[in-house]
């Protein structure tokens, strides 16, 4: 099993090993986001009083952590799309690679791409704006993991739509998580949202992560409730999207869509 | 010993209101044999191969590949099978060696680097190992695809148009490699082809498909004699252009 998962990972990592532009492309958007938001928060912080500094930290923390979800989702979806674009899916689906192994390989690739993308932005936030995300303490690992898992779940949904609708659904790989941003409470608390939207926000793991992040940065406390809720929702979303993906894969085998996907 | 392929009443209907693409296909292909799957465009060859590979779910019927039921246990069979088609590409930006390494891992090949070198020597790929697959000529790509399909020393090899787009010299070499591999390994080969000379040379038995149904079958020489023709191409044209009784293989 590990051998087959590594086989698919190697197919993608071999490309990155040789291609500096691909590596730079991974880091480009998180760094750009960090630079733009860093200057915005520096401007808003103005006189650098305590309240403004804390708010700036919340914004930068939000940017950095949300990038983890974005890169995780895109890393998974784009790795799948690359197989489709290179017309290689046929070979993969007739190999002994099980669907769950395909998913695990795409998850591992997404995690690797996320780390390469987000770590330089974290260093930059510290170097340019004096914001050290490690101040979140051990909870940072939990926040990061919860968002990466949410990215995987959303990507499974996107991949299912690609299997169902073919290349017409490709654009979702880039846009879907941006559509969730307003409800994810990345930059503001859930309480800011209208009452009827708040349950929607709380159904997303991200909203709990960012409420927990604000509690840590603004109040210096660890909110175990939000952390537990984030992981519980992750488990639910991942199980549901995994089921949708496997169902769509079987439906594609039935329709014959795997014969010409990507063409 | 179980058959390489045992196919029973295989049907594939893409839509309920349309004629089945494959309709009641039944055959048993022994181990070590090379069989041809012939038919015009739309005869059901690709659909059949896709079902044999588990890429497409049959509407009904049963496939046993190397003794494994493809409906329940297809991954056990797939580990001992392989497939090549010029219509499915290998990743263009990866080198030939990297491509072979990827599939070696996917198929769990032991002593992978030694196997890659061995295949490269057999198929004259040694000079190409470090080159990206996308930079190769059509003939070189076909050889790489063949190397990929032999990476796991399959017991059952499915080939879709194995020599399409190859010049006569390269195509002839390719057929030679396939014959040698079958002789050495005892692998069963099922190939779909429009090249009748190739089928006459490689195949001990032929299934003639028309509109998803086997309309005739037999050894190429047998078919040529039965139809009173000089070669398989003329038999193919007879079958493609005239209605025939359905034969039971």
Q: What is the chain B residue with the closest CA to A105? A: B106
Residue B137 DSSP one-character state: -
ipTM over 0.90: no
What's the pLDDT at A47? 54
Query: Which H or E run includes B98?
Result: helix B96-106
CB contact under 8 A, A87 and B56: no
Largest interatomic CA distance in chain B: 53
> What local confidence, expressed as pLDDT, does residue A261 receive?
62
Give pLDDT tens digits for B24-82: 999 999 999 999 999 888 888 889 999 999 999 999 999 999 999 999 999 999 999 99
- Select the residue of B57, B101, B108 nearest A253 (Cβ to Cβ): B57
Nearest CA-CA distance, residue B229 and chain A, Å: 36
DSSP code of B90? P
- A3, A19, A258 ranked by CB distance to B105: nearest: A3
pLDDT digits (tens, 9 = 90+) for A136-169: 778 888 999 999 999 999 999 999 999 888 877 8
Chain B interface disruption, residue of A2, A5, A11, A20, most B CBs within 10 A: A11
CB B79 to CB A14 under 8 A? Answer: no
Q: Please, are residues A91 and A41 in contact by the beta-carbon 8 Å criterion?
A: no
**Above 70 in pLDDT, residue A202?**
yes
End-to-end CA distance of chain A: 30
| Bridge partner list, B217 | B207
- Whether domain B1-80+158-249 has CATH 3.40.50.300: the reply is yes
- Interface size A-B, in CB pairs within 8 Å, comes to 89
Residue to substitute from A6, A91, A100, A104, interface B, most B β-carbons within 10 A: A91
Mutation choice for B interface testing from A7, A16, A85, A253 by most B CBs within 10 A? A7
Nearest to B90 among A91, A255, A259 (CB): A91
Q: Which residues contact A77 (CB under 8 A, 6 or more apart)?
A: A155, A158, A159, A162, A172, A173
pLDDT of A48 reads 56
Name the average pLDDT for chain A.
88
Whose tokens are 């330089």? That residue is A120
pLDDT at residue B248 tops 60: no
Model confidence pLDDT, tens digit, residues B119-142: 999 888 899 999 998 898 888 888
pLDDT (0 to 100) of residue A79: 92
3-state SS of B162-192?
CCCCCCHHHHHHHHHHHHHHHHHHCCEEEEE
Question: Is B246 a residue whose pLDDT tops 50?
Answer: no
What is the structure's pLDDT at A50?
Answer: 54
B212: helix, strand or coil: coil
CB contact under 8 A, A95 and B56: no
pLDDT tens readout for residues A236-256: 999 999 999 999 999 988 888
Q: Are strands B34-38 and B205-210 parallel, antiparallel or unpaired?
A: parallel
Answer for the pair A108, A9: CB distance below 8 angstroms, yes or no. Answer: yes
Q: In percent, how much of chain A has pLDDT > 70?
A: 95
**What gap in Å lies between CA A132 and CA A130, rounded to an integer?**
6
Query: How is residue A157 written in tokens?
Result: 């949904």
Contact A163, A249 (CB under 8 A): yes
Q: What is the pLDDT of residues A77-131, one digit of tens each?
A: 999 998 888 888 888 999 999 999 999 999 999 999 999 988 988 888 888 877 7
The chain-wide mean pLDDT, for chain B, equals 88
Task: List phi, psi (to 5°) of B161.
Answer: 50, 60
Nearest neighbour of A15 by CB, restricted to B47, B90, B94: B94
Which pLDDT value is given to residue B233? 84
Measured between beta carbons, the chain B residues lying within 8 angstroms of A7 are 101-106
Arithmetic mean of pLDDT, A39-49: 70
Surface of B (10-29) touching A: CB under 8 A: 12, 14
d(CA B38, nearest CA chain A) in Å: 19
Position A171 confidence tier, pLDDT thresholds 50, 70, 90: confident
User: Rounded CA gap, B25 and B28, in Å?
Assistant: 10
**For testing contact with chain B, the best of A94, A101, A253 (most B CBs within 10 A):** A94
Tell me what pLDDT residue B116 has: 96
* Domain limits, chain B: 1-80+158-249, 84-153
DSSP A193: S
B57 near A CB under 8 A: yes
Whole-number pLDDT of residue B139: 81
CA distance A191 to A167: 38
Is pLDDT at A227 greater than 50 in this prediction?
Answer: yes
């Amino acid at each position: 099993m590990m051998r087959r998962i590594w086989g698919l990972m190697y197919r993608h990592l071999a490309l990155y090993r040789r291609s500096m532009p691909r590596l730079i492309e991974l880091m480009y958007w998180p760094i750009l986001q960090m630079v733009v938001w860093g200057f915005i928060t520096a401007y808003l912080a103005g006189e650098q009083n305590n309240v403004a500094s804390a708010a700036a930290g919340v914004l930068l923390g939000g940017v950095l952590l949300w990038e983890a979800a974005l890169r995780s989702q895109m890393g998974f979806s784009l790795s799948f799309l690359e197989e489709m674009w290179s017309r290689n899916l046929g070979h993969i689906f007739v190999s002994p690679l099980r669907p769950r192994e395909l998913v695990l390989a795409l998850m591992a690739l997404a995690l690797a791409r996320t780390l390469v993308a987000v770590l330089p932005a974290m260093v930059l936030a510290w170097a340019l704006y004096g914001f050290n995300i490690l101040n979140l303490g051990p909870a940072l690992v939990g926040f990061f993991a919860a968002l990466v898992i949410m990215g995987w779940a959303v990507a499974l949904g996107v991949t299912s739509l690609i299997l169902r609708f073919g290349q017409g659904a490709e654009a979702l790989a880039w846009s879907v998580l941006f559509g969730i941003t307003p409800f994810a409470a990345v930059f503001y608390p859930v309480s800011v949202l209208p009452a009827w939207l708040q349950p929607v926000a709380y159904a997303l793991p991200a909203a709990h992560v960012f409420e927990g992040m604000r509690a840590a940065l603004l109040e210096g406390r660890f909110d175990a409730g939000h952390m537990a809720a984030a992981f519980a929702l992750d488990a639910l979303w991942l199980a549901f999207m995994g089921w949708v993906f496997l169902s769509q894969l079987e439906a594609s085998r039935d329709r014959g869509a795997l014969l010409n996907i990507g063409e | 010993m179980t058959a390489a392929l045992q196919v029973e009443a295989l049907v594939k209907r893409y839509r309920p209101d349309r004629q089945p693409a494959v309709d009641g296909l039944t055959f048993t292909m022994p181990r070590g044999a090379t069989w041809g799957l012939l038919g015009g465009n739309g005869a059901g060859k690709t659909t059949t191969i896709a079902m044999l590979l588990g890429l497409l779910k049959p509407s009904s019927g049963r496939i046993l590949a190397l003794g494994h039921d493809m409906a329940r246990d297809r991954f056990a069979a797939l580990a001992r099978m392989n497939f090549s088609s010029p219509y499915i590409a290998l990743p263009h930006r990866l080198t030939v060696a990297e491509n072979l390494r990827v599939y070696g891992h996917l198929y769990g090949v032991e002593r992978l680097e030694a196997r890659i070198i061995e295949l490269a020597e057999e198929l004259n790929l040694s000079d190409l190992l470090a080159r990206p697959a996308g930079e190769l000529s059509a003939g070189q790509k076909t050889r790489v695809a063949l190397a990929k399909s032999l990476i796991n020393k399959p017991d059952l090899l499915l080939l879709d148009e194995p020599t399409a787009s190859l010049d006569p010299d390269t195509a002839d070499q390719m057929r030679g490699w396939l014959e040698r591999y079958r002789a050495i390994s005892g692998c069963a080969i099922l190939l779909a082809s429009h090249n009748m000379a190739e089928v006459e040379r490689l195949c001990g038995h032929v299934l003639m498909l028309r509109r998803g149904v086997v309309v005739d079958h037999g050894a190429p020489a047998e078919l040529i004699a039965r139809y009173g023709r000089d070669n398989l191409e003329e038999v193919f044209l007879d079958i493609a252009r005239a209605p025939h009784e359905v034969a039971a293989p």
